[in-house]
Amino acid sequence: MPEEIRLIGSLPPIQSAISLDGMGDGARIKIDVPREFVQEVLKLQQLYSGATFEIIIRPDTTGYGK
């Protein structure tokens, strides 16, 4: 079974946080990730660079950042 990666993230407060492809073929999303989750980001890079993966977005119920 492929390894699951979990982290907390948010959209950065910049105009280019979500960019749509000019041809309408897709989009790019930028996500800010707190320092505590950098190891998970590195794991994402190591395990899934060049591969497709599923993304599920849910509200943070951990209370992180409050």
Show the domain range for 12.
Answer: 1-51
Could you tell me if residue 57 is inside a domain? no
The verdict on residue 22 lying in a domain is: yes
The verdict on residue 17 lying in a domain is yes
What's the confidence (pLDDT) of residue 36? 95
Closest CA to 53 of 43, 61, 62: 43
Q: How far is CA 37 from CA 10, 19, 27, 42, 55, in A?
A: 12, 24, 24, 9, 16
Q: Does 60 map to a domain?
A: no
Residue 20 lies in a domain: yes
In a domain, 66, yes or no: no
For the segment 2-60, what is each residue's pLDDT rounded down to a tens digit? 789 999 999 999 999 999 999 989 999 999 999 999 999 999 999 999 999 999 999 99
pLDDT number for residue 14: 96
The rounded distance, in Å, linking the Cα atoms of 45 and 24 is: 26
Number of domains in the chain: 1
Structure tokens at 64: 């992180």
> Is 28 domain-assigned?
yes
pLDDT at 1: 58
